[in-house]
Chain A
Amino acid sequence: MRRTLSLMCIVLLVSGISIRAEDVTTFHAYVDSDLCARLMLGPITQSRVECSQKTYKDGSNAVLVRLTDNTVFSVNKEKLLKERVGQLATVTGQAKVKSGTMKLESVMPEVESNIPQGDPARRLLDVRTYKTTASAQIHEKVRHELAMIPYITEFDFISFTLVDDTVILTGWTVRATNRGDAAYRAKSVPGVRAVINNIEELPLGSSDMAIRADVRTRLQRVLSTYFWSNGSDIKIIVRNGNIILLGNVRTQQDSDAASIQAKSVPLSFHVFNLLRVAPDAPKKDKG
Chain B
Amino acid sequence: MNNYRGVWKTVRGCLAATLLAVTLGCSAAPKPADTAPGVKKIAAGQEFSGFLKNYEQLKPNSNLGENALTFAGTEARKNLRSYFAIVVDPVEVYIATDADATKVNEDARLALTNYFQHALVAAVEDAFPPVDKAGPLTLRLRAALVGVDVGGQVAPGDAPTDAQPLERALNIGKVGVEMELVDSVTGERIAAMVDRSNLGAGAEVGAVQFSRVEKFEAARHAFDEWASRVREFLDSAHELTGADAEKADKSYQPYQ
Contacts and interface: CB of A to CB of B under 8 A. Distances in A.
B and A form one assembly: yes
Interface residues of B, number: 35
A143 B244 contact: no
30 contacts: A39-B255, A143-B252, A143-B254, A147-B248, A147-B251, A148-B240, A148-B248, A150-B238, A153-B81, A155-B137, A171-B255, A174-B84, A176-B125, A176-B126, A177-B126, A204-B129, A209-B136, A209-B137, A212-B136, A212-B137, A214-B136, A229-B81, A231-B81, A231-B244, A231-B248, A246-B255, A274-B255, A282-B250, A284-B247, A287-B76
A210 B135 contact: yes
* Size category of the binding interface on chain A: 35 or more
B69 interface: no
Contact of A206 (B133, B245, B255): B133
Nearest to A139: B254
B252 A175 contact: no
A109 interface: no
Contact of A209 (B135, B238, B245, B253): B135
A240 interface: no
- Main SS of chain A's interface residues? mixed
A119 to B, nearest CB: 27
Contact of A204 (B82, B85, B240, B251): B85
Given A175-B128, A204-B131, A209-B131, 16 more contacts: A147-B248, A147-B252, A148-B248, A153-B81, A153-B84, A155-B137, A174-B85, A176-B125, A177-B126, A204-B129, A206-B135, A209-B138, A220-B77, A229-B81, A230-B81, A231-B248
A279 interface: no
Contacts of A269: none
**8 nearest A-B residue pairs (beta carbon):** A213-B136, A147-B252, A177-B126, A150-B238, A159-B255, A176-B126, A159-B254, A229-B76
Contacts of B85: 174, 204, 209
Interface in A13-60: 39
Interface of B: 74, 76-77, 79, 81-82, 84-85, 125-129, 131, 133, 135-138, 235, 238-240, 244-245, 247-256
B79 to A, nearest CB: 7
A152 B245 CA distance: 12
A175 B84 contact: yes
Given A230-B240, A230-B244, A155 B250 contact: no
